[in-house]
Amino acid sequence: MKKITRRTPPASPQFSGAVHPALQRIYASRGVLNDEQIDRSLKHLFPAQLLKGLPQALDLLVDALQQQKKILIVGDFDADGATSSALSVLALRALGAHHVDYLVPNRFKYGYGLTPEIVEVAKQRTPDLLITVDNGISSIEGVAVAREAGMKVLVTDHHLPSQQLPDANAIVNPNQPGCDFPSKNLAGVGVIFYVMTALRTKLKEIGWFEQQKIPEPNMADYLDIVALGTVADVVPLDQNNRILVHNGLMRMRAGRCRPGIKALVDVAQRKLERLVAADLGYMIGPRLNAAGRLDDMSHGIECLLTDNPGLAKDFAQELDQLNHERKSIESGMQQQALAALNMIHLKPDQQMPWGLCIYKKDWHQGVIGILASRIKERFHRPVIAFAPAEKGEIKGSARSIPGFHIRDALDAVASRHPGLITKFGGHAMAAGLSLPVEKYESFQQAFDKEARRLLTLDDLTGVLHSDGELSQSDIDLPLARMLREAGPWGQGFPEPLFDGEFELLDQRIVGEKHLKLTLGFPASKRVIDAIAFNVDLEKWPNKNARRIYLAYKLDVNEFRGVQNPQLMVEHLEAV
């Protein structure tokens, strides 16, 4: 059962009359109070000069270009890492680098980050400069091994650092101590975009492009990649990130995007000209992520790198197939997890842990992150899903709920129980860790204890935050279109959600488990369509229901070229 609460704007907005009253209320409840705060032009981006470590990073990069040194990018195996790697390679080549390559660790063999083992692989390519993207801030040993081998190391990352920083030649991370960059929410791809943009400016100042007789690249050309990686990594969409994502989406809609992104949009059966941030998060990002989950993320990176539309289509179809396989594997794992958790409810002497750990020795390591997300959504508590790793260890992927900083919780468990966790890292809402399989039960208990220490029973109740009720006159196509364009919506800047009662005129199941509704308004002959995805088939359709209470999003449904408003149902109850 979910609780619906209505948002209350913290202060009175100061918008011009051009902003719809409903939008003013929505923006204000998200802390956006004036026209300047909704201006999504690039001129409002925070300046790169505020990033600590940027001067040292530029010195390394300028030297590497001037001397035409070998540059190796080491990325992560998720969508943020793939977009970061692709952007780095494309930008450096456009800036005049002749020897640029990338390396992404196979998650099943090497694990996450710049490990000493992956440095040994990197050595075979004899790089002069090694650049980490979307990782490296916790790679103390890996950076040391690379430096000992004679490589210079530039770490670009956005993850939270531990007390000790790696001894790199330069570190650019808005979350490192002493960094004054106001947005701490940049994704890894956002960090490297800032670095490459600042490098372009530096090279222009020293006359590099004239000397090399090459055109000065337009860095806005990479915003489609930045938008994809930022949304897919589910970082909070503060104003800086909204600017990056909005401008990337506009380029996609105009058809000015990488062939690989266009191909991924095509296989996801979306229309480029109507793309929104949710499409990147739920349709495009998962297909890119599938490569790193089941196979080798280099397939995803090559999809983004290629200039050949035919090759891009081939890569996209391969990624689409991997995503179908991922869904099938995940479905089986989810059924196993739910069966085990439902057994807890059947035992009177047991209760559901507040911090939930799940593990089976035949689970797929590449899919446990999605599994943890699904179980978290169902039971609304922090969840860590584990799968077997090498050398007697298991790897866990953690997902959290509001009010429970998962990385800090793991840090607390590690401090109270030395030796229990081999390694960990992550964000407030997601993290990863490794531990010996024989310590799994001890970790279960310690993690549940930490969750009970920090959470309350109210925290374990799922809450939907509504922007209030819409009048009948507001539930129309103009406002639906306006809401689509008013984002980008996403993590930390949620898409508007409304609630209210309607007359239930018709209900039927479509696509096996989706509920199609026809709704009416009291004292009116007007009707509107609605759809609720993945309903409980034991409760719906409900032939006794005449009125219905909904929490819903107002969206635009297009069918055979005709657009109509439609309610996307998040919660429903018979009244």
Structural domains present in the chain:
43-320 (3.90.1640.30), 352-460 (3.10.310.30), 464-574 (2.40.50.460)
Tokens of 76: 């992560």
User: CA 527, CA 3: separation in Å to the nearest integer?
Assistant: 27
What lies within 8 Å, CB to CB, of 318 at 6+ separation is 299
Q: 190: Cβ–Cβ under 8 A, 6 or more apart, which residues?
A: 158, 226, 229, 230, 235, 241, 244
Average pLDDT over residues 327-356: 80
Per residue in 427-480, pLDDT tens?
788 889 999 999 999 999 999 999 999 999 889 988 899 999 999 989 999 999
Size (the chain), residues: 575
* Neighbouring residues of 468: CB distance < 8 A, sequence distance ≥ 6: 6, 7, 25, 498, 499
Spacing of C-alpha 503 from chain mean position: 37
Q: Is residue 571 over pLDDT 70?
A: yes
Q: How far is the C-alpha of 52 from the C-alpha of 54, rounded, in Å?
A: 6
HSE on the CB side for 44, CA within 13 Å?
16
- Burial label for 332, CB within 10 Å (0-12, 13-18, 19+), is middle
Residues 481-532 have pLDDT tens digits of 999 999 999 999 999 999 999 999 999 999 888 999 999 987 788 999 999 9
Averaged pLDDT score across all residues of the chain? 92
Instruction: Please list, in sequence order, all residues whose beta carbon lies within 8 angstroms of the beta carbon of residue 429, skipping any fewer than 6 positions away.
Output: 234, 399, 400, 406, 491
Quickly state the pLDDT bin for 538 (edges 50, 70, 90). Answer: confident
Q: Is the pLDDT of residue 561 over 90?
A: no
What is the per-residue burial (b if ≥16 Cβ within 10 Å, else e) of 423-449? bbbbbbbbbbbbbbeebeeebbebbbb
Structure token pair of residue 83: 């977009």
Instruction: Decide if 371 contacts 385 (C-beta within 8 A).
Output: yes
β-pairing verdict for 71-74 and 100-103: parallel
- What is the pLDDT at residue 525? 84
Amino acid at 217: P
Using pLDDT thresholds of 50, 70 and 90, give the confidence band for residue 569.
Answer: very high
Residue 305 — left, alpha, or beta (φ > 0 → left; ψ -120 to 50 → alpha)? alpha
Structure confidence at residue 348 (pLDDT): 53
Cα–chain-centroid distance for residue 396?
Answer: 18
Which CA distances in Å does 457 have to 313, 392, 403, 466? 49, 36, 12, 21
Q: Which residue has the higher pLDDT, 365 or 154?
A: 154
264-288 residue pLDDT tens: 999 999 999 999 999 999 999 999 9
How far is it, in rounded angstroms, from Cα 106 to Cα 192? 22
Q: Residue 127 pLDDT more than 70?
A: yes
Torsion angle (degrees, nearest 10) of CA 374, 379, 380, 384 = -60
Higher pLDDT, 372 or 523: 372
* pLDDT tens-digit series, residues 35-61: 999 999 999 999 999 999 999 999 999
pLDDT for residue 278: 94
Residue 350 confidence class, pLDDT cut points 50, 70, 90: low
**Amino acid in position 45:** L
For the stretch 158-212, pLDDT in tens is 998 988 999 999 999 999 999 999 999 999 999 999 999 999 999 999 999 999 9
SS3 label, residue 527: strand
Whole-number Cα distances in Å, 286 to 149, 271, 322, 323: 36, 17, 10, 7
**Largest pairwise CA distance in the chain:** 78
**Segment among 310-314, 390-394, 504-508, 522-526 with least mean pLDDT:** 522-526
Asked if the model's pLDDT at residue 94 lies above 80, the reply is yes
Average pLDDT value for residue range 121-143: 95
Q: Is the pLDDT of residue 349 over 70?
A: no
- And the tokens for 134? 């979307």
Look up tokens 């992404």; give the residue.
104
Query: According to the model, what pLDDT value does residue 281 have?
Result: 93
- Pick from 2, 28, 4, 1: which is nearest to 499 by CA? 4
Model confidence at 387, pLDDT cuts 50, 70, 90, reads very high
Residue 408's pLDDT is 92
Residue labelled with tokens 């999003």: 553
Q: Which helix (H) or strand (E) holds 338?
A: helix 309-346
Q: Which among 364, 396, 367, 363 is positioned nearest to 382, based on CA atoms?
A: 396
